[in-house]
Chains A and B, each alone.
Chain A
Amino acid sequence: MSYLIDRRENAKNKNMVNRRRFMERYKQHIKKAVEKAVDNRSITDMERGEDVPIPAGDVSEPVFHHGQGGRRTIVHPGNEEFMAGDRVQRPQGGQGGGGGSSDASDQGEGEDDFVFQLTSDEFMEVLFDDLELPNMTKRHLKGTHSFKYEHAGFSNDGVPAKLSVTRTMKASRMRHIALNARRKREREALQETLLAAQHSGDELTLRRIGKQLQDLEKQIRKVTFLDDTDLRYNLHVKKPIPTSQAVMFCLMDVSGSMDQAIKDMAKRFYLLLYLFLKKHYERTEIVFIRHHTIAKEVDEHEFFYSRETGGTVVSSALQLMDEIMHERYSPDEWNIYGAQASDGDNWNDDSPKCAKILRENILPDVQHFAYVEITKRSHQALWEEYAKLEEEFPELFAQQHIRGVGDIFSVFRQLFQKRLAA
């Protein structure tokens, strides 16, 4: 006796919960691997998944077992040359051919790291875990596409496409029961008399009741299967979704003083920022500005890949940001963020000008502004000017220093670490 069942349509990922728990347990290892990966990767494949090695000892589930030593007898197959009483050299390391065959953990291969692969989604999730844009607030509701349709019960009229079959059938069924209740009761009574008549053999009554029953059946069948009044339609209503709009200004210095290595670091920093925004804030707009002596708004591709270069006037970028900001992104409606990266090299008399633009035009209207200085040398005028700003606006302005590739991710984390609401 066998039952054959097709389970192929059953839900997959029965083990998702367990996998999650496993990841939760080894979060530290995973984080470390992800951070290491970010520092080592070229900027073109930042989004790939990653192998996470976890030392075997940490994931092992220990049980009592025998250690090396003592006396063991093992039976092996495939004897070609040995006779009883032969002595054989102990294999090197005490393992290999002589190792305990019944106990896998005795053998050398158990010592490898446990490696498992994060999917690219998981990778990104771990990468940007606990990060957020600071001071995000709900601004003016805007935009036609921030509506969604929600189910709101049923109605008696609507378009055929929204017909709710179950509800309609329910209504039809109700109508049937209501209209036929009396007739069905009568039919039951008639059937009883019919039975009684059959017993007594009363031909006349039999025929009369038979006729009545037939009429009744006809009436019952006449109630229509579906009536206009049965039709029910799904009802949907439009609901606005409150959204918070944000725009991020990315300002990058591409002047001649920035050598290839520094530019690469700046790009990495922005790439992280870009991925972070794409992952967590789907509706965030990004404005890319690159500058040497003059600033220019560019698209994503040009921002990361163009090779233009020249002298340095940092204020040009800030000026352009100020213009774009006030032209296109009204502070009443937008959460505005800025991130600036440079090697700190600037015309000396330009630095106070930068601070002035920031202080007077930009900072009053933004949620947060971050400055990253990428250099191995000592700080120059720009850093010092900005240090003053940081004191003045501790909530709004932050600056950080990147010395080498290894710093990028930790600086990024510091800038966007989730803060507890004050």
Chain B
Amino acid sequence: MTATAEKKSATPISTGSEWTFDLIDRYDREIGAVAEEFGLDTYANQIEIIRSDQMLDAYASIGMPIGYNHWSFGKHFVEAEQGYQRGHMGLAYEIVINSDPCIAYLMEENSMTMQALVIAHACYGHNSFFKGNYLFRSWTDASSIVDYLVFARQYIAHCEERYGVHEVEEILDSCHALMNYGVDRYKRPYPISAEEEQKLQREREEYIQRNLNDLWRTLPSHEKEEEATKDVFPSEPQENLLYFIEKNAPLLEPWQREIVRIVRKIGQYFYPQRQTQVMNEGWASFWHYTLLNELYDRGLVTDGFMMEFLSSHTSVLTQLPFNHPGYSGINPYALGFAIYSDLRRMCENPTAEDEEWFPDIAGGNWVEVLHTAMRDFKDESFVLQFLSPKVMRDLKLFSVIDDDSEDTFLVSAIHNDPGYREVRELLASQYNVGDKEPNIQVASVDLRGDRSMLLRHTQFERRPMGESTNEVLKHVYRLWKFPVKLESIWNGSVTENFKMPV
């Protein structure tokens, strides 16, 4: 904040803390104008003012503006409601949805400053991220998601009417358990479109049912041919469990396949969000900070506004140290914000260290550098590429190895010259999906025998499966309806076996 007296010639937009629709509109226009100057490319914004209880509703539906009915949303609702009523948890100031127009919910209780902060953060920060980042571009179709959710809601309500709430609930439970395994990580999916869905849904039902019968034909066909084609099905391991089940489960009804598909598609919609948390929150935080400071420099907001803004900005972006009782891991807001801010610093005030570590960035055009960093990366590659020694020093990062074959933890690297690269690599791998979730694929299906399905877990760093594995297998079994086995593999040999039914 280096505002000088002559810069502050304009009159502030508002001086009080109460917001009005006119004021929100004014702020939105001013922030939008500044955002455009910085080259932020956004979807149109749809800003909705809601009450706190509506915010609780929005929480429960895990960020979907329209959701189908399911008990688990009720559970989330109860949880959020109780946390809120007992004061364990404050409500987020905002929720933003990756759609076109980009929907942002603003709470009625917010002060004018907070509304402006939220507009800068969500309507220009997150919004431009949704529109620009390659993962969002290739995995989600912002213009059709709302339509698709409407279709999903109607379809599921329709199934409940026809087949009973309980039946539908069971299928949904099982699908939810596998929701994270409904994505082809290395294939670009087709964007979803509600209209097409509806049109294709019928055809799909018939087609699948016909093909299945072929797959599961029990009549012996040409014996010789069978010898020749005695290879494994599927011919390659399948990582997309839900897709595999949708297409190949022998006994699912057509409507059940459609529900599997719906959950899979919604999982796919959320997939980029899980992979870009640091980048997305960091980007939005960087821009609300930059945009509002710009408004201040132009004299459009008051000192009081800035005090209130900075106080909540700091509280969101605080990174507690590891030995603090409230510590719960690295704060994605803080890390992302630190990296983006440091990129800007490197462009504007490069040091010798920056020249050495980031020769392409140091002294460059910061707006362009930041946009590249936002567009073409996900958390893992973003950290690997852009985490600078300065940020590591500022956050005092250090890496700890917890190996269950040793009695003590080993501090493997810290924020110093020999350690930078290792800390950076380790932190990046922490955002790798394979590190977060066990790598499980469909290995084979016994076509001629008991129709059992074999899942293979390839261990990462010798990590075993968690205690809920059997519970999840029950769900897989419910969908597959024939025995399901899971083998856990380390270094080419099976270390653990699971089976359902036991």
Interface: A393 (CB within 8 A): no
Q: Using a CB-CB cutoff of 8 Å, which residues 84-109 of chain A contact chain B?
A: 84-90, 97-98, 101-103, 105-106
Q: Are B418 and A84 in contact (CB under 8 A)?
A: yes
A78: shortest Cβ distance to chain B, in Å? 2
A68 to B398, CA, bound (A): 22
* A65 and B438 contact, Cβ closer than 8 Å, known pairs A2-B46, A78-B321: yes
Min distance, Cβ B410 to any Cβ of chain A, angstroms = 6
Q: Is A225 an interface residue (CB 8 A)?
A: no
Residues in chain B near residue A63, CB distance under 8 A:
177-180, 468, 472
Known contacts A78-B320, A84-B414, A19 near B408 by CB under 8 Å:
no
With a 10 A CB-CB cut-off, give which of B25, B71, B412, B461 has the most chain A CB atoms. B71
Q: How far is the CA of A70 from the CA of B465 in the complex (A)?
A: 10
Q: Contacts A15-B61, A24-B71; is A72 near B461 (CB within 8 Å)?
A: yes
- A88 and B401 within 8 A (CB): no
Q: Is the CB of B45 within 8 A of A82?
A: no
Q: CB of A1 within 8 A of chain B?
A: yes
A410 smallest CB distance to B (angstroms): 28
CA A15 to CA B463, docked complex, whole Å: 38
- A4, CB-defined interface residue at 8 Å: yes
Q: Does B53 contact A (CB under 8 A)?
A: yes
- Name the residue among B54, B415, B469 with the largest chain A CB count within 10 angstroms: B54
Nearest A-chain residue to B474, judged by Cβ: A62
Contact status of A79 and B398, CB under 8 A, knowing A5-B47, A67-B463: yes
Most A CB atoms within 10 A — which of B401, B402, B416? B402
Which of B101, B323, B466 has most A Cβ within 10 Å?
B466
* B44 / chain A contacts, CB cutoff of 8 Å: 1-3
Q: Are B415 and A62 in contact (CB under 8 A)?
A: no
Q: Choose among B28, B45, B108, B416 the residue that contacts A8 (Cβ–Cβ < 8 A).
A: B108
Contact A22 B71 (CB under 8 A): yes
Query: Which parts of B391-442 form the interface with A (CB within 8 Å)?
Result: 395-405, 407-416, 418-419, 423, 426-427, 429-430, 435-438, 440
- Taking each of B25, B77, B429, B438, which has the highest tally of chain A beta carbons within 10 Å of its own beta carbon? B77
B281 within 8 A of A: no
Q: Using Cβ atoms and an 8 Å threshold, which residues of chain A touch B78?
A: 19, 22, 116
A224 CB-CB contact with B under 8 Å:
no
Q: Are A101 and B329 in contact (CB under 8 A)?
A: yes
Contact of A3 among B45, B82, B414, B467 (CB under 8 A): B45
Given contacts A3-B47, A7-B48, A102-B435, contact A74 B430 (CB under 8 A): yes
Q: Smallest CB-CB separation from A83: which chain B residue?
A: B414
Identify which of A5, A22, A88, A103 contacts B400 (C-beta below 8 A): A88
B319 at the interface (CB under 8 A from A): yes
Asked whether B60 is an interface residue with its Cβ less than 8 Å from the other chain, the reply is yes
B415 CB contacts on chain A under 8 angstroms: 79
Shortest CB-to-CB span from B18 to chain A, Å, is 15
In angstroms, how far is the closest chain A Cβ from the Cβ of B320?
A: 7
Tell me if B202 is interfacial: C-beta within 8 Å of chain A. no
Shortest C-beta distance, B105 to chain A (Å), equals 8
Q: Please state if B47 and A79 are interface contacts (CB–CB under 8 Å).
A: no
Q: How far is the CA of A223 from the CA of B408 in the complex (A)?
A: 98
Contact digits for B159-183, partner A, Cβ 8 Å, 1 yes 0 no: 0000001000100010011111100
Does B217 sit at the interface, judged by CB under 8 A?
no
| A143 CA to B455 CA, complexed, in Å | 71
Is B357 an interface residue when CB atoms closer than 8 A count as contact?
no
Chain B residue numbers with a CB within 8 Å of A101 are 328-330, 430
Q: Say how far A328's CB is from chain B's closest CB, in angstroms.
A: 47
Give residues of chain A (320-359) contacting chain B, Cβ–Cβ below 8 Å.
none
Give the distance in Å from the alpha carbon of A172 to the alpha carbon of B49 in the complex.
40
Chain A residues positioned under 8 Å from B105 (CB to CB): 7
Interface residue from A2, A18, A69, A116 paired with B60 (Cβ < 8 Å)? A18
B411 touches A82 (CB 8 A): yes
Q: B32 to chain A: which residues have CB within 8 Å?
A: 2
Is A166 located at the chain interface by the 8 A CB criterion?
no
B407 touches A90 (CB 8 A): yes
B459, closest chain A residue (CB)? A70
Are the CB atoms of B408 and A18 closer together than 8 Å?
no
Shortest Cβ distance from residue B158 to the other chain A in the assembled complex, whole angstroms:
15
Question: Given contacts A2-B28, A78-B324, is CB(A8)–CB(B396) below 8 Å?
Answer: no
Which residues does chain A contribute within 8 Å of B169, judged by CB atoms?
A: 21
Q: Is residue B354 within 8 Å, beta carbon to beta carbon, of the partner chain? A: no
Q: Does A117 contact B (CB under 8 A)?
A: yes
Is the C-beta of A161 less than 8 angstroms from some C-beta in chain B?
A: no
| Chain A minimum-CB-distance residue to B181 | A64
Judged by a CB distance under 8 angstroms, whether A153 is at the interface is no
**Chain A nearest Cβ from B51, distance in angstroms:** 5
Instruction: Tell me whether A64 and B404 are in contact (CB under 8 A).
Output: no
Q: Which of A6, A73, A76 has the most CB of B within 10 A?
A: A73
A244 to B299, CA, bound (A): 74
**Among A5, A23, A77, which residue has its beta carbon within 8 angstroms of that of B330?**
A77
The reply on A10 being an interface residue by CB < 8 A is yes
Across the two chains, which residue of chain A brings its CB closest to B428? A75
**Is the beta-carbon distance between B46 and A17 smaller than 8 angstroms?**
no
The answer to whether B438 touches A66 (Cβ under 8 A) is yes
Chain B residues whose CB sits within 8 angstroms of the CB of A22 once the complex forms: 71-72, 74-75, 77-78
Complex CA distance for A67 and B105, rounded to whole angstroms: 37
Hey, which chain A residues are within 8 Å of B452, CB to CB? none
* A75 and B396 form a contact (CB under 8 A): no
The chain B residue sitting closest to A102, CB to CB, is: B436
Q: Could you tell me the distance in whole angstroms from the C-beta of A25 to the nearest C-beta in chain B?
A: 5
* Residues A65 and B466 in contact, CB atoms below 8 Å apart: yes
Give the distance to chain A from B239, nearest Cβ to Cβ, in Å.
Answer: 12
CB of A84 within 8 A of CB of B464, answer no
Is the pair B423, A98 in contact by a Cβ cutoff of 8 Å? no
Residues of chain B contacted by A79 (CB below 8 angstroms): 322, 396-398, 414-415
Q: Which of A3, A6, A19, A66 has the most CB of B within 10 A?
A: A66
Q: Is B94 an interface residue (CB 8 A)?
A: no
Within 8 A of A (CB), among B55-88: 56-57, 60-61, 69-75, 77-79, 82
A84 adjacent to B408 (CB under 8 Å): no
**Contact B399 A74, beta carbon cutoff 8 Å:** yes
Q: Name which residue of chain B comes closest to A98, CB basis.
A: B402
Closest to B330 in A: A77
Across the interface, name the chain A residue whose C-beta is closest to B241: A64
How far is the CB of A94 from the nearest CB of chain B, in Å? 9
Please tell me if the beta carbons of A7 and B50 are within 8 angstroms of each other in the complex. Answer: yes
Say whether, besides A2-B46, A70-B462, A83-B411, A103 and B436 are in contact (CB < 8 Å).
yes
User: Which chain A residues border B123 with CB–CB below 8 Å?
Assistant: 2
A3 surroundings in chain B (CB, below 8 A): 44-47, 101
- Asked if A84 contacts B108 (CB within 8 A), the reply is no
Q: What A residues does B322 contact at CB under 8 A? A: 76-79, 97
- Residues from chain B with a CB closer than 8 A to the CB of A151 are none
> Does A12 touch B at the CB level, under 8 Å?
yes
CB distance from B110 to the nearest CB of A (A): 13
A203 at the interface (CB under 8 A from B): no
Per the 8 Å Cβ criterion, residues 1-52 of A in contact with B are 1-8, 10, 12-15, 17-25
Given contact pairs A15-B61, A75-B399, A80-B396, A62 touches B108 in the complex (Cβ within 8 A): no
Chain B CB count within 10 A is highest, among A1, A65, A85, for A65
A1 to B412, CA, bound (A): 50
Given contacts A65-B468, A103-B436, contact A18 B459 (CB under 8 A): no
B308 within 8 A of A: no
In the A-B complex, the 3 residue pairs with the smallest Cβ-Cβ separation, listed nearest first, are A78-B321, A101-B329, A22-B74
Pairs A–B under 8 Å by Cβ, sample size 21? A2-B47, A4-B21, A4-B28, A6-B21, A10-B54, A22-B75, A64-B469, A65-B438, A69-B404, A70-B462, A71-B405, A76-B322, A76-B397, A78-B321, A79-B414, A85-B410, A85-B411, A86-B411, A88-B400, A88-B409, A115-B82
Q: Which residues of B contact A (CB under 8 A)?
A: 21, 24-25, 28-29, 32, 44-51, 53-54, 56-57, 60-61, 69-75, 77-79, 82, 101, 105, 108, 123, 165, 169, 173, 176-181, 319-324, 327-330, 395-405, 407-416, 418-419, 423, 426-427, 429-430, 435-438, 440, 459-469, 471-472, 475
